[in-house]
Amino acid sequence: MLPVDAAQLNHNPPPKNAKPVTVEKSGRRPHRYWIVCIITRSSRAPPTVRIVHSGHACNVEEERHTERVYTIREGETLELTCLVTGHPRPQIRWTKTAGSVSDRFQDSSVFNETLHISKIQRHQGGRYYCKAENGLGSPAIKSIRVDVYYLDDPLVTVHQSVGEAKEQFYYERTVFLRCVANSNPPVRYSWHRGRDVLSQGSDKGVEIYEPFFTQGETKILKLKNLRPQDYANYSCIASVRNVCGISDRNIVFKLTNKTASPSIKLLVEDPIVVNPGQTVSLVCITTGGEPNPTLSWVSSSDSLPEKSVVKGGTLTLPAITSDEAGVYSCVASNNVGNPAKKSTTIVVRALKKGRFWITPDPYHNDDNIQIGREVKISCQVEATPPEELIFGWLKNGRAMRSSERMVITQTDPDISPGTTNLDIIDLKFTDFGTYTCVAALKGGGIPEISIDVNISSTTVPPNLTVPRGKSPLVVREGDTVELECLVSGKPKPIILWSRADKEAPMPDGSLQAESYDGVLRIVNVSREMTGSYRCQTSQFNGFNVKPREAVVELIVQYPPSVEPVLLEMRQGLGRPVVMNCRVLRAHPSRVLRYEWRLGNRLLHAGHFDQSDETEYTVKSLNREGWGEYTCDVNNEAGAGRCTFLVTGKAYPPEFYYDTYSPLWQNRPTVYGFKLQWTQMNPNAVDRIVAYRLGIRQTGLQRWWEQEIPVDGTITKGELNTHNLTELIKPAAYEVRLTPITRFGEGDSTIRIITYSGEFHCSFEEEPICMFTQDKNDDFDWTRHSAATRDTKYTPNTGPSDDRSGSKQGFYMYIETSRPRKEGEVARLVSPFFNVVPKNPYGIANPPAYCFSFFFHMYGKHIGTLNAFLRQKGQTAAEGPAWSLSGNQGDRWKQAKVSIHPTASFQVVLEGIRGPGIEGDIAIDDVTLEEGECRDLPPISKHKNTEGGVYP
């Protein structure tokens, strides 16, 4: 990278304000750097952006409205680069949309220039946007549509018409062969019988068509009234015409007179009832089908259990559990007709969740149990299978039978299934005792469940109260709190807790929480948990009466939430500083006290009245006023703090990244660099009096520093320039720049300077890389883009986009419309590049440079394009180093030529107007790099020098 002439800096004495810097290099003698600070005018620029690609693109073409389409094959690497200009350096963001819905874009929403997706998949296609903004004007946005191409293996399925379906294909039957393959772009199909190509009309017994109910380009081969010659091998070839290098895919299906859809048989019962822990084997066999069907197993739970074993048509489930119960299906497929499917249900026997409740006499409005009244005891369990469930009742350990006064009901249709009732009519004193409900399954093998219920004179319905002092309950955020309801009664019921003031989940996420002791414990209580909580009795394991309930109020106190939590305030001496601390939320909020401090020194204190904010002002900032100011806002629960860091530290400088490339200097072992930057918010603090420049070779530890004095006041957007010289090739350097004010050092900015030995210009910026128009020619080259250039008068000439394929990209061209005349010349001259002899007596082996550029010469009146080498000190112009004439077609081509200058030099691009107006010549992407040209294109018949032209 090398654009400007450094001869003036290298040969002229340093200015008065320059100071030498000595830098030691490992293994070398110290070098002296002359530090020169040059202040120029403002150079702020809004962002521009264009997207270029690299990687494995199959094709890049234009859509309407200049949007681009990038085609890539699935599995390749997508790499898009967003080229931006503008100052300050724009921030870049990639996003993606799919249709009208914005993707979350987890794998591709990035904040750097290059978007990289390895092994791209079909679902990652869509429109990608690059957005650049730097606060000047509107953000620059460019988009490109990425189209992912793929072709899956085709699949052939065979069908008969429904009314004619049989186990096998006989004569006078109609058969359909359907071929389908997933693809992008749309696939084309062709059919072969053996080696013969089948097409519509080639065989009276064959039709190839695309019915309305199929999608895309699915092709169906119809064989009418099967003939002996129809029994053959059929090939379906799917093709996307080798787009993206995707080769054709094909599949072969053999049709015989035995071809038939699959049929299967399950060698198991339905349902299968087993005990937990047993090993279950399901056997499925094929009973028909040609070709031989493939067997697979599926489960109603979407996936087979992890420990299941499938071997052929046998599915084995070792040590089965209740969670593995469900429907299991055997599926057979051979692509003929519909797949065959047989299913069976596995039932794993189980008993769980035993519970009871007591119902006092339903005919009297009394919740108590009294002698002479009726009492019902209900017992419920969950059983699998439910039809095997059996109940038994015991009284004080002895079996009971149903009688006129002791009525046992095995199932109650009015309540949940799996429930048994014991009705005690005309309760007597002798009926007091322990009643046991026993649940079992008929088949055995499962432990039975027994539930004891005590009926006595002390059996009383529940009562629920809140202890004194437990509501409202006031706690602080982060504490552990226990909400309590006292419950009495025998038997003691379960307590259910829920929110009473709103439909919201409990702290554990459930809508209801169970408690056996009436206490709800909440750990690390938060402010969102403030509110009313309801406790109520459950009918289960207790009385089946109207639930008792109570409400507990919970109040969570928390310290004030304030803003700003942390704010940096940069200000110069003698200026006012106003700090404002605002309360967002607090509980309690009625008594709030604030304290302003600088470090540990109390500045001001007071109470909030009607306002929710407090303000502190430093009327005139002095050196003692720099530091950390805090405002603590206190209530009973604690304090919230606003922090203000008041400083005179200058903001960091912003390097101007659109700087042209490093400078070639007069010695072959060194190079220079023009460092350019603007100062962020220079007026926010005291005047910047100097910059501290630090420089070190990458990989080394030691920094060499020098202050660069600044005369006068730097304004916002003003461009500062400093030349770094004597940088050793090809080393890279880390440069650190720090502004200095009366406060001291400000924030630093670091960048890396890398030597590449290359100069590149794509004419995207208005300065056109320091190229100039020759003052002695007849007319000038014109900078333009295809998106803005008006070619309505000469539509058959000139490029339709720049060399990268963008209609927004810029290039240079000669406009040959009137008043231009045949033979008139336009010359574009590069900046000087310095070459100095290694000895004062001349160059025995002059250095070589490769000069290359892209050109577009389209139109029937194209004249000549010449490239010259112009060296300092030469009076007579040499012949062109490269030359080409005539129409070269509507496309960009590359030219390369090796040059061997013996002194500082320029390259000149000369366009000569042809015999008519359709003769516009364009150039783009001019490059100069050290060394001989490599990979030279073939020598053109129009070429009369040592270079070449790419076709």
Q: Mean per-residue pLDDT for 437-457?
A: 90
Stretch among 621-625, 840-844, 863-867 having the lowest mean pLDDT: 840-844
Question: From residue 177, how far is each of 71, 164, 340 by CA, in Å?
Answer: 33, 15, 19
Per-residue pLDDT tens digits for 777-820: 999 999 988 766 665 555 678 888 888 887 878 899 999 888 89
Close Cβ partners of 12 (under 8 Å, ≥ 6 residues apart) = none
Q: Which carries the bigger pLDDT value, residue 73 or residue 719? A: 73
Confidence band, pLDDT 50/70/90 cuts, at residue 883: very high
Provide the token pair at 262. 């699959």
Q: Is the dihedral of CA 540, 541, 543, 548 positive or negative?
A: negative
The pLDDT > 70 percentage for the chain reads 84
* Cα distances (angstroms) measured from residue 279 to each of 267, 282, 316, 369: 16, 10, 7, 50
Q: Which residue has the higher pLDDT, 661 or 312?
A: 312
| Whether the predicted pLDDT of 564 surpasses 90 | yes
In Å, what is the CA distance from 910 to each residue of 279, 299, 824, 936, 946?
Answer: 89, 77, 10, 22, 18
In the prediction, which pLDDT does 325 show?
93
Tell me which DSSP letter residue 11 carries.
H
Residue 176 CA to residue 160 CA, distance in Å, equals 6
pLDDT digits (tens, 9 = 90+) for 649-697: 999 998 875 544 555 555 667 788 878 888 999 999 999 999 999 999 9
> How far is residue 507's CA from residue 815's CA, in Å, rounded to a whole number?
76
482 and 495 in contact (C-beta within 8 Å)? no
- Domains defined for the chain, CATH in brackets: 45-150 (2.60.40.10), 155-254 (2.60.40.10), 263-348 (2.60.40.10), 350-458 (2.60.40.10), 461-557 (2.60.40.10), 561-647 (2.60.40.10), 653-754 (2.60.40.10), 759-837+845-930 (2.60.120.200)
C-alpha distances (whole Å) from 687 to each of 18, 387, 515, 646, 683 are 21, 92, 70, 17, 7
**pTM score:** 0.54
Measured CA to CA, the distance from residue 406 to residue 423 in angstroms comes to 6
Instruction: For residue range 127-163, list pLDDT tens digits in order.
Output: 888 888 887 878 888 888 889 999 999 999 998 765 5
460 token code pair: 């009383």
Give residue 853's region: left, alpha or beta (phi > 0; psi -120 to 50).
beta
Q: What is the per-residue pLDDT for 27?
A: 42
Give yes or no for residue 11 having a pLDDT over 70.
Answer: no
Q: pLDDT class for 25, splitting at 50, 70, 90?
A: very low
Per-residue model confidence (pLDDT) at position 105: 46
Check pLDDT > 90 for residue 645: yes
First-to-last C-alpha distance (Å) of the chain: 27
Q: Are strands 638-647 and 566-570 parallel, antiparallel or unpaired?
A: parallel
Q: Where in 99-218 does DSSP place strands (E)?
A: 101-102, 114-117, 126-133, 140-151, 155-160, 175-180, 183-184, 188-193, 196-198, 206-209
Strands in 100-154 per DSSP E: 101-102, 114-117, 126-133, 140-151
Residues 6+ apart with CB under 8 A from 893: 854, 855, 856, 949, 950, 951
Least confident of 49-63, 324-338, 605-619: 49-63
pLDDT digits (tens, 9 = 90+) for 897-907: 999 888 878 89
Mean of pLDDT over the chain: 84
Which tokens go with 43?
Answer: 């150079």
Distance separating alpha carbons of residues 512 and 506, to the nearest angstrom: 7
Q: SS3 of 323, please?
A: helix
Task: Write the CA distances from 459 to 393, 423, 436, 848, integer angstroms.
Answer: 20, 16, 16, 110
Q: Categorize the per-residue pLDDT at 277 as very low, low, confident or very high, splitting at 50, 70 and 90.
A: very high
Query: Using 50, 70 and 90 to split pLDDT, how confident is the model at 911?
Result: very high
The pLDDT value recorded for residue 169 is 54
| Sign for the pseudo-dihedral over CA of 393, 397, 402, 405 | negative
Q: Of the given ranges (345-349, 470-474, 585-589, 621-625), which has the lowest mean pLDDT?
A: 585-589
**For position 800, what pLDDT does the model report?**
86
pLDDT at residue 257, as a whole number: 86
Average pLDDT over residues 510-538: 92
Mean pLDDT of 917-934: 88
pLDDT score for 252? 95
Report, as an integer, the average pLDDT of 707-715: 93
Whether 260 contacts 291, CB under 8 Å: no
My answer on whether omega of the bond before 560 falls inside 30° of 0, hence cis, is no
Interval 554-563: pLDDT, tens: 999 999 999 9
- The C-alpha atoms of residue 671 and residue 753 are separated, in whole angstroms, by 11
Distance CA 247, CA 244 (A): 9
